[in-house]
Each structure stands twice: as C-alpha cells, then as structure tokens.
Structure 1
Amino acid sequence: MSHSDPAPRALRLELALSAGLALPDTGDIAVFHPRSGEQLTPLPRERVVIITPHAPDFAVFSAQGYRCVKAAEGRFAAALICLPRGRDEARDIIASASGATEGPVIVDGQKHDGVEAVLRELRGRVELSEAISKGHGKIAWFAAAASAFADWQAEAGSCADGAGREYRTLPGLFSADGVDPASALLAGVLPGGLKGVAADFGAGWGYLSAQLLVRAPGLTTLHLIEADARALDCARHNVTDPRAQFHWADATVPIPRLALDAVIMNPPFHSGREARPQLGAAFIQAAAAMLKPSGQLWLVANRHLPYESTLASAFRKVTELPGAPGFKLFHAEAPLRGKPGAAGKPGRSVNRNGRRS
C-alpha cells in the first residue's frame, strides 16, 4: 500500500537547506516515522536511517534500499521528524529524536496535523529557526536538547474493560484511552464454540484477542496480526495466553502458509486524517485468502463504511447481525476461492439483521 507525498516534504527540505539548515558532513541521519510514498531525496540516501514502527512503511523503504529500524538505536548526527497527527505521539517522537541526536533536529508536518501548534510549543523550550511554509505544511529546526523534553517522553498507560481487566496502552495507539465501542460490540457476539486456528487482523493492543481466548477454550492457536510494533508490544503484555502468537505484519497482505478456521477484525479506515475505507476492504480480501474453505469471518465496522460488496464478492454466505446505532456487524462464511473480488462466480448478497435467505 502506498501513499502519495502530500507534504511535499522533499520540497520543504530543499528550501530549508537553502535557507541555512546545515547537515553534518558525516554520521547517520535519522528519519522518524515517514510514510510510504514520501520523498526524502534531499538527504544523502547512504546516511539515512528510517525509524518506523509501521510494518507497511518499513517494508516499502526497505525495498527502496534504505536502512530501517523499528525504534531509535544508538546516536545520530541529525534527525528529521515527520510529524504524526496525534499530539502526544508527536511530543514523544520529538523527545526521542532530541535524546538520540547530536543535532540538528528538523520538524516537518502538515497544518492539518497540527504542525503550527507543535512549533509554538517548541519555541517555548528551544531556540527554533524561522519556520518555512510550503505545500500546506511547515518545517523548522533546532539544536538537540534532550533535557528540554524529558516530560514529553510517552509513558505506558492503561485502561480497563467492563469486567475490570486492565490493559497496557500507549499514547498514539488506536483507542489508547479505553476500549473502542465497536470492538466491545464485536466481542459480545464472538462465539464460544470456535475450534482450531484463528486470527485477529489489526489486533492493536490485544483487547479482542484477549476476549476471544477467554470465550473460546477450544481454539488451539490465535494469531495476532498488527502493523504497529508499539501496539504489538502492548499486546504481548496484555495477552499472555500460551495459544497466542504475534506477528508484526501488514494485515492487508496474506501470510503465506497460514490456514485459518476463523478471523475477527475491527479494521482501520484512516491513514492519518485521510479516510481510506479501502483499508478495511483489503483486510476482508486478505482474510478470505487465508481462511480454509469452511472458514468464518466476524467483522465490525462503522455504519457508513461500504463493505457489503467486498464481503459479497469474497464469501459465499454473508449475514448482517444486529448491531448498534453507529456500528454494523457481519458474519461471513465459506470464502470464495481465487482472487477475492475478481470476476467469476459471485457471492450471495448480504442478508440483513440476522435473517438468512
């Protein structure tokens, strides 16, 4: 999956270098959390180290020949921060970069992701350069000062489910402050009689997986598939059942030789601020490709998301279960063989509200 470069980050970097940003002549340059499709051409490729916990981005930049790591390791001569949308996550990345870098620390982001507010905060803590505006975003830089951001380093948090079970979370993760209502709705309909091998696509910090393992003692294995390494680390802490196996992987890409009896999912439908319902469609198609002929899928989605056609093209039987005002639930059975969604024998239409034809 690729993203266009909306910044344009490369152009802002070029303008900054022309305006006085000086990169050290030697040493590695850390680039924190770039997204696939973004251009980093103003930086010397052989010195760039991509730091990203996101498996799809890691794979894309690795394929382009960049050195990639999931988290900052060692010291860097300079750092470029590609600001995320979340304020707490952005602060944590700035603190990490400043603590691992000799300097300069370059901060670049889009206005709709809050770059202006971040730059205002930085001016109260460090000597920040003049910001350069271009492409609906801004770039500025400062000399690394780890002590200035000690209070910005993210610390693990926690939340509890309705039964009082505590879960470890982290700022910047999906639903870090509490159990997502859609996931709670799906957990309530998961059957207890499941057996064999199952998977949680986009497992996050592990809530749905923990619920399923309690409900279904007949499961032999549950694979947690999650693209964010930070969320997966939390899931390892939250899901200690020995039947759990953890995969840092893109759930839109089928895992070879993994045959499943059941899949559960509450798929994402945003990339940053951009709505991308095709992400959920890709989750469904990957599930159909990995399920056995008798396999089953349980899915929860926001009510406005158009997943019905994807489900109907990927499964022989699809039933919409009673949902909630903001969410809909589906149970799909018997994946169609061949490419899901390809031309050929269609699946049945979605049956509504638990009624089967």
Structure 2
Amino acid sequence: MSYAIDALFYALDVNPDISTEGRVLFLRAQEHPALEHFAGRLVCQQTWKPRAKELEAAGYRVEREAHGLFDLVLVLPDPQRDLMVADLARAHDHLAPGGLLMAAQHNDAGSKRCEQHLREVAGGAESLSKHHSRVFWATKDETKPWKADLLERWRQGTAMRRILDGRFWSRPGLFSWDRIDEGSALLAKHLPLTLAGNVADLGSGWGFLSDHLLRHCHDIDTLDIYDADADSFECARRNLGIIPTRVKAKPHWHDVTTGLDRAQYDFIVMNPPFHEGKEVDPLIGMKFIAAAAGALRPAGELWLVANRQLPYENLLNETFASVEKIIETGAYKVLQAKTPTVKPAFQRRGKRRR
C-alpha cells in the first residue's frame, strides 16, 4: 500500500469542510480500509488486474472505464507526466458541477509538479503534506471554468494513435508503446513458422508478437492473449483484427503471475516483464515461466526472450525436460523449453508476492 493513499485519506479526515457525501469515484484505485466509509456509493476505476482483483475481493465495484458524474473524485495520478495530466483531465470530466477533485502523489513521484498542474488548470488548489506525499484538491466551479484548451491537450496526450508509420495502434503507458521492443523483435525473428494448434501470448501488450504469429504461423488454431493491463486490449484488437486470418485472438485480462487455469496450449510465447516499478524483479519472469509450465500440454513448447543477465535457466531446467538457448546477443537471449515436467516448488506452495 502506497504512502500517497494514506495521505489522501488523512486529508479527508482532518478537513471537516470537505464534503464526502454523494457518489464517489476513485481513479487508479487501490484497496484501503478507509474505503468502507463510501460503501454503497463508490465506484473504483482500475485497469491493472492485480489491484482490481484486490478491490473486488474486498467487495468494491470495479470498472475498467468509469462512466457518469460524481460528487467526489479521488485519484492517484500516474508518475509519468503525460499520464499524470491525463488522469487530472479524466477526473475533471467525471466531476459533477460543484464536485471536488482530490489527488495524492508521493514526493518521489512528482507530487509538486502534479499539484502545479492542478493549480494551473483549475485556477488554484488547496494542499497539505503527509506521509512523504502531497494531497491537493480543487472544486469544479461553473462560475470559474477550468482551462478547456489545456484539459483537451491533456486528454489527447494519452489517446490511442497510430505508430511506426501507421502500421500499428498503441497508446502512451503501454510497454514499449511507440516502438518495437528489441527483445520482442529478436524473438519474432527466431520463432519457427511451424508453431501450430492452441497458442498463447503472455504479456501481449499492444500485440506485436501476436501480430507476427497470425501473419506467419498459418497452422495456429486458436490464439489467446493475456495481459494485466486492460488498456492494452483495444490497441491489440485493432492491430490483430485487420490480419487476414481465420483465427481471432481472444483477450484475457489476467495477472499471469497467479498462474493460468488449465493445461491447454501447444505453444506459449512471451517477453516477460522483470520490473516492479523501477526495481528489477526477476521473480516476475519466473512466475511467468511457472504459469507457462502449468498451462502447456505434455508435449508443449515455451518460447521466450529475456535480458541476457536474467537467471531463468535454472527454473526452466527444473520445469521442462529440454531447454535450448537459440541465440544470445549482447543484450538478449532467446530460449526454447520443451515438454513441461513438474511445477516449480514455489508455485506448488502457492506463494505469491504482494
């Protein structure tokens, strides 16, 4: 749980003049005990599956995309500048007349800058500091409208758009959003054209690897794409929907690190993530490998690309009968693993990093 969300609810507690009545929207929501105060009138917007799942488990209504107007809009803006201001614009758009926007940001994630953006667009704001974070808020006063031209620029800053000379659709905030990742390109170059049957792309993003599979592997019967970020699927749908093939990719909004439902795939491809925020965390990729081992059929194959220094080989040797390094460059390695054997010990015990 972040310091920013603690600061957010602290600000609500110590400011009796702030009304918390009426409908409440929480953008980029995270689970917190104080949410119980809004029971029955709270909508949580969250596109990141692990956090959405925590909110749902706590009994809250979760939407990938919010609709309607609200008397109070809470938001934990993204640290990246374009996403940050787009979050403020989105919060404004969901405010009912006279409604209050309240945002919180950790100091290391650009809290002062975010507060300045709100002051600029709203013509002023109130704020306080707590828990190494800043909380700032402003009212949607119809007699003093927020700057419409600035709001519109902020909205457009994260809109879906064509990239790479119009070849693909993507949007800021997705992994490698405006270019083809070098590791994914290397994996695509070495994937055999004989991939066939039921196939999955784990951590599919805006769809580059899936595009390659549908265009070049003509014996694929089904293709499932998995990603924890719901914002990726509309881009992937547009990119993959124009490919002249009988196979239609089926999206799954799912946290792959928790495992997949059943063993059903003949082939799995992936370029697994290995960061938790700014911190390198190889365990994420290991959980992807564990999920793949559990989801492949007995004669199935896993094809993955990884940064050269990531220590995946030991786990692959534990969970597959055969492991081969197809190519290694100065930065990346492509690995092929055949015939899953047993699930790794940390998956059997059900351990999960929170």
Please state which band the TM-score falls in when normalised by the shorter chain: 0.7 to 0.9
Distance 1:120 1:8 in 2: 17
Q: Give the letter aligned to residue 57 of structure 1.
A: R
- Quote the sequence identity (%): 31
Residue 57 of structure 2 corresponds to which residue in structure 1?
Answer: 63
Partner of 1:124 in structure 2?
120
Q: How many residues align?
A: 334
The reply on whether 1:105 has 2:101 as its aligned counterpart is yes
Residue equivalent to 1:174: 175
Pick aligned residue for 1:136 from 128, 132, 138: 132
Contact kept, 8 Å, 1:95 with 1:146, in 2: the verdict is: no
Paired AA for residue 340 in structure 1: P
- The 5 Å alignment of 1:201-220 reads 201-220=202-221
Conserved 8 A contact 1:14-1:42:
no
Q: Provide, for residues 269-290 of structure 1, a one-character-per-residue CA deviation record: whole Å limited to 9, x for no partner.
A: 2233343322211111111000
Q: How much does 1:43 deviate?
A: 4.3
- Deviation of 1:333 after TM superposition, in Å, equals 1.0
State the Cα distance separating 1:255 from its structure 2 match. Answer: 3.4
Tell me, in whole angstroms, the C-alpha distance in 2 between the residues paired with 1:131 and 1:273.
27
Deviation string, structure 1 residues 191-238 (Cα, Å, up to 9, x no partner):
101111110001001011001122211111111111211101110000
Provide Cα deviations, 1:63-106, integer angstroms capped at 9, x if missing partner: 11001111011111111111223221222221111101122111
Shift, 1:188, TM fit: 0.8
Q: Note the aligned Cα RMSD (angstroms).
A: 2.2
Could you list the runs of 5+ residues in structure 1 that have no partner in the other structure? Answer: 345-357
Alignment of 1:259-338 (within 5 A): 259-337=264-342
Superposed CA deviations along residues 109-163 of structure 1, whole A, max 9, x for unmatched, are 1222222222122222214434322222211111134835122113212222xxx
In structure 1, what residue type is equivalent to 2:269? I
Q: Counterpart of 2:198?
A: 197
Shift of 1:308: 2.3
User: Taking structure 1 as reference, are residues 250 and 8 closer, same or farther at Cα in structure 2, changes over 3 Å only?
Assistant: same
Does residue 73 of structure 2 align to residue 85 of structure 1?
no
C-alpha contact 2:30 2:51 (8 A) present in aligned 1: yes
3-state SS in 2 of match to 1:325 = coil
Q: Is the 8 A contact 2:188 2:209 kept in 1?
A: yes
| Alpha-carbon distance in structure 2 between the residues aligned to 1:343 and 1:54 | 22
Q: Secondary structure at the match of 1:209?
A: helix
**Residue in structure 2 matched with residue 50 of structure 1 by the alignment:** 44
Is the 8 Å Cα contact of residues 200 and 265 (structure 2) preserved in structure 1? Answer: yes
In structure 1, the partner of 2:29 is 34
Q: Secondary structure at the match of 1:228?
A: coil
What is the letter of the counterpart of residue 117 of structure 1? R
Separation of aligned partners in 2, 1:14 and 1:242: 54
| Conserved? CA contact 1:85–1:273, under 8 Å | no
Structure 1 equivalent of residue 237 of structure 2: 236
Give how far 1:291 is off: 0.2
- Alpha-carbon distance change, 77 to 329 in structure 1, aligned in 2, over 3 angstroms: same
Structure 1 Cα separation of the partners of residues 322 and 102 of structure 2:
52
Aligned match of 2:253: 248
Q: SS of the residue aligned with 1:171?
A: coil
Shift of 1:8: 4.8
Show the counterpart of 2:185: 184
Secondary structure at 1:158's aligned position in 2? Answer: strand
Return the alpha-carbon distance in structure 2 between the equivalents of residues 239 and 325 of structure 1. Answer: 31
Write the distance in 1 (CA, Å) between the matches of 2:207 and 2:14: 46
Correspondent of 1:96 among 90, 95, 110: 90
TM-score by length of 1: 0.86
Give yes or no for contact 1:10–1:39 (8 Å, CA) kept in 2: no
Report the Cα offset of residue 39 of structure 1: 5.0
Unpaired segments of 5 or more residues in structure 2?
141-145, 349-354
The one-character-per-residue Cα deviations of 1:309-347 (angstroms, maximum 9, x if unpaired) are 32222212212222222222211111113x323699xxx
- Matches of 2:310 and 2:204, distance apart in 1: 20
- AA aligned to 2:206 is W
SS at match of 1:149: helix
Contact 1:13 1:139 in 2 (8 A): no
> Could you tell me which amino acid in structure 2 is paired with residue 131 of structure 1?
S
Query: Do residues 152 (structure 1) and 154 (structure 2) align?
Result: yes
The SS at the match of 2:121 is: coil
C-alpha separation in 2, matches of 1:213 and 1:44: 46
